[in-house]
Chains A and B, each alone.
Chain A
């Protein structure tokens, strides 16, 4: 490969941290002038309470800070630049309006301890968002507090515990399908339950017989996502709900895949008792390179008393002056707080703006288009040149995402799913999620989302076919990819063996 040995300009630009760019005496900060007669510092904060030496923060001027981070930004691939079909992450376009409205001073500089009477706009927005999310899930009672999907899961499992214990029941187990996202079992452990795995049947759904054999009076909850991580709608969901409710357990909906069914089918109507939403997926909060997110939950009537506090409530004002929005702390059965203040309000503003923009019809079209795009891309990848190497794991219509299996590719072309992903980097697209779900060998999980055009999907299918054709001629190209990225394959094992996790001073 002729590219081997050549260096791009970015590759020549060796990584130096901001600490290495520090030079004594340089600075950016100019503080406000001291406008009073200073007292000796020792009289105010005794020396033994203070640092002996200043923290070794960078000494650097503003132009160099800006240049440093702008250059770093160019070492990132991002959604505004290219296709990002990262399965289960719902990388849809982030409308720019949302940044503008989140940045309004009435939002951005609103103090979290401002009295409710002086934060009526924010509380009304949160109340309206709760109402909209409740309608979308078919579960009326919403708490916006959890900060991410995994945080919502923890809230949901803790309130399941509170619900059972309130009835004098001390259950010990929670069921999760073997296709579950890793946060499900990790959450179960943190909430003090034992994880029991439920098998998947040949159609990619929950194995009903296995579920029946494991559902007993010790089961507190079944955690499920629908569509599943395989991108398939769980057709037996009503029966599953009956089994779980039959033994007195709750049914938890992991909202990671909600983008497929908004306005089409509602978790509450399927029999779920608890739902978490990922506002950074379905409702398009920018992912920020790994946060912030937000993971509100909704629950059925029986679980409502246990929701985190405070709750946002609407009251009719005594004098007939309209609706007053308030924070309700008087919730004696609440599991309590999971974090500070009222949750990730800045994310709520963006999600609410999104729901206002799309409306009922737009949200339905969102999910229809997400499923259309996924099925179209799946159909393209089922054509000759791809399908023989990357067959679809479950050959049926998919929902918003689908899983391909790289086993034949590995066997016949000598490249693994990882190599395919790395070669895609040279083509300017973000690879799909790889090696998840775990029960598909060499898995490739593809979620195009509704905001991609037919042309983008056509291009991606052609790129995948190209990479496979190239591998048929010379697998070493993919095996050594990428070539054009700021760095090439990195020694991850070495990083874990001898961890260097901060800049040496």
Chain B
């Protein structure tokens, strides 16, 4: 090969790199390893994580331990889906393109909005993308955000708005849901977009209809950050008057993976079609009249429009979106309703039983599907530690994100948590709260 090139050694190929810019030593990294040794090393690391496989976990807060059916692993492991790049050559990418078309159809159906892209990075970044679309659509200077949005999504809005010079105003919660009076006071003709969540971060199902009625007259774009799985039961944002629906797709057949990769979905009303971020697949025909699919409306995108593009996004999360559409096909028209109703029943049971415990009260009284919040009358962190020591992770402490609830606890009940699991949570949490209360009482008694 070197003779064909006309050089003597491989080093000659790097002659263009000035000596001063060359690394004169080996990289300071360990030596390479055999496959079996790499496997052993990574297995050892993985075993030091406590996953939902090895504890009884009630963690939620944006990602959920739903069952991922076997057929997803099987289909996603196919090289034909796993290893190609973005479908720039549609004649040899019809499989992936049709998957995206089916995915867009499913997202449109769930959200009740006619236009879906082929997916974005994740839920919070999709919220950020909606803010940028609103900026392109109306150029107004302010975003109004319910405190019910995922804290990460609210932070992404603040990060990105530094770039496109919009102000972010937060609307507080009252009894677990967006305060309608605060919302009415915050929204005006300077509002570019209003962001509401369904269910919100505290698990509450918001009465979106009344909130939409408050925000709509301002002419701001209305963005619903929603969970796609519970849309199997809840009213779709498109029917409620929202312009855009975005959210985290992990609940649709994607693994937890410590937070990613998953996908974000992005759906909108027809008028925003040409402002959408990311890939969109459209149907067409080939020269012989056969049905086919292509990436379409590419004049929105960075590789064509460059600095005038509607987004800088290049890739989608195609493999994760594939998992999503397989999952929705597996659940099917009736299955998604059954799954949601099962979660509603078990979550109601868990909420009733937990809030019947001494020292545990409901944080809010709103309807819930899969998740609810409680407040402990003792410090939450040591209670969690006690539960974890007993093999039960009772949920996510809310104090970091909601300082007004220093001892709040967010508890998620997926279909993988049975009644027996919930009963165990009640026993373990009840005991932990009682022990913590006893310590507090002793401390007070001792005059500490």
Q: In the assembly, what is the distance between CA of A186 and CA of B164, in Å? A: 13
Please name 5 further chain A to chain B contacts, defined as beta carbons within 8 Å, in addition to the given A15-B290, A45-B344, sorted by A numbering: A55-B110, A263-B23, A289-B87, A486-B92, A501-B115
B142 at the interface (CB under 8 A from A): no
For the complex formed, measure the closest distance between the CB of B65 and the CB atoms of chain A, giving whole angstroms: 7
- Contact between B326 and A69 (Cβ–Cβ < 8 Å)? yes
Partner pick for B159 among A56, A153, A336, CB 8 A cutoff: A336
- Contact between B90 and A77 (Cβ–Cβ < 8 Å)? no
- Contact between A289 and B31 (Cβ–Cβ < 8 Å)? no
B77 at the interface (CB under 8 A from A): yes
Which B residues are in CB contact (< 8 Å) with A431? 89
Partner pick for B297 among A149, A158, A496, CB 8 A cutoff: A496
Q: Which of B54-62, B187-195, B429-437 contacts A (4 or more CB under 8 A)?
A: B54-62
Task: Give the top 10 A-B pairs by smallest Cβ distance, nearest first.
Answer: A341-B259, A106-B46, A359-B32, A288-B319, A112-B259, A29-B335, A292-B261, A121-B48, A80-B79, A186-B302
Which A residues are in CB contact (< 8 Å) with B153? 340
B266 at the interface (CB under 8 A from A): no
Residue of A nearest to B282 (CB): A495
B445 at the interface (CB under 8 A from A): no
Which A residues are in CB contact (< 8 Å) with B294? 490, 492, 495
Known contacts A45-B367, A118-B49, A182-B306; decide if A233 and B17 are in contact (CB<8 Å). Answer: yes
- Contact between B41 and A346 (Cβ–Cβ < 8 Å)? no
Interface string of A305-349 (1 = CB under 8 A from B): 000100000000000000000000000000111111111111101
For the complex formed, measure the closest distance between the CB of B389 and the CB atoms of chain A, giving whole angstroms: 11
- Contact between A289 and B93 (Cβ–Cβ < 8 Å)? yes
For the complex formed, measure the closest distance between the CB of B24 and the CB atoms of chain A, giving whole angstroms: 10
Which A residues are in CB contact (< 8 Å) with B62? 112-113, 340-341
Q: In the assembly, what is the distance between CA of A79 and CA of B61, in Å? A: 37
A100 at the interface (CB under 8 A from B): yes
A–B pairs, 17, beta carbons within 8 Å: A15-B94, A18-B102, A75-B94, A104-B46, A187-B312, A288-B320, A289-B85, A308-B159, A336-B159, A337-B152, A340-B123, A340-B125, A359-B30, A359-B33, A485-B92, A495-B282, A495-B294
Considering only residues 470-505 of chain A, those with a C-beta below 8 Å from chain B are: 480, 482, 485-492, 494-496, 499-503, 505
Known contacts A35-B420, A356-B30, A379-B4; decide if A189 and B308 are in contact (CB<8 Å). Answer: yes
- Contact between B258 and A76 (Cβ–Cβ < 8 Å)? no
Q: In the assembly, what is the distance between CA of A192 and CA of B135, in Å? A: 12
- Contact between A287 and B48 (Cβ–Cβ < 8 Å)? no
- Contact between B102 and A182 (Cβ–Cβ < 8 Å)? no
B29 at the interface (CB under 8 A from A): yes
Considering only residues 61-85 of chain A, those with a C-beta below 8 Å from chain B are: 62, 65-66, 68-70, 72-81, 84
Q: In the assembly, what is the distance between CA of A358 and CA of B29, in Å? A: 10
Which A residues are in CB contact (< 8 Å) with B94? 15, 72, 75-76, 486-487
Q: In the assembly, what is the distance between CA of A207 and CA of B353, in Å? A: 72
- Contact between A289 and B319 (Cβ–Cβ < 8 Å)? yes
- Contact between A353 and B42 (Cβ–Cβ < 8 Å)? yes
Partner pick for B71 among A62, A72, A294, A485, CB 8 A cutoff: A62
For the complex formed, measure the closest distance between the CB of B262 and the CB atoms of chain A, giving whole angstroms: 8
Which A residues are in CB contact (< 8 Å) with B152? 337, 339-341
Which A residues are in CB contact (< 8 Å) with B13? 368, 371-372, 375, 397
- Contact between A336 and B15 (Cβ–Cβ < 8 Å)? no
Q: Which of A89-97, A244-252, A384-392, A403-411 contacts B (4 or more CB under 8 A)?
A: A89-97
Known contacts A14-B291, A233-B17, A490-B91; decide if A289 and B81 are in contact (CB<8 Å). Answer: yes
A1 at the interface (CB under 8 A from B): no
Which A residues are in CB contact (< 8 Å) with B345? 34, 36, 38-39, 44
Which A residues are in CB contact (< 8 Å) with B46? 101, 104-107, 121-122
For the complex formed, measure the closest distance between the CB of B153 and the CB atoms of chain A, giving whole angstroms: 7
For the complex formed, measure the closest distance between the CB of A221 and the CB atoms of chain B, giving whole angstroms: 13
Interface string of B400-424 (1 = CB under 8 A from A): 0000000000000001001110000
Residue of B nearest to A346 (CB): B257
Known contacts A77-B92, A78-B83, A86-B85; decide if A489 and B287 are in contact (CB<8 Å). Answer: yes
For the complex formed, measure the closest distance between the CB of B14 and the CB atoms of chain A, giving whole angstroms: 6
Interface string of B16-37 (1 = CB under 8 A from A): 1110111100111111110100
Q: In the assembly, what is the distance between CA of A157 and CA of B41, in Å? A: 36
Q: Which of B212-220, B227-235, B354-362 contacts A (4 or more CB under 8 A)?
A: B227-235
Which A residues are in CB contact (< 8 Å) with B31? 359-361
Which B residues are in CB contact (< 8 Å) with A162? 162
Q: In the assembly, what is the distance between CA of A158 and CA of B163, in Å? A: 7
A463 at the interface (CB under 8 A from B): no
Q: In the assembly, what is the distance between CA of A51 and CA of B236, in Å? A: 7
Interface string of B81-119 (1 = CB under 8 A from A): 111111111111111101101101110111000111011
Q: Which of A17, A22, A72, A376 counts the most chain B CB atoms within 10 A?
A: A72
For the complex formed, measure the closest distance between the CB of B200 and the CB atoms of chain A, giving whole angstroms: 13
B211 at the interface (CB under 8 A from A): no
- Contact between A154 and B312 (Cβ–Cβ < 8 Å)? yes
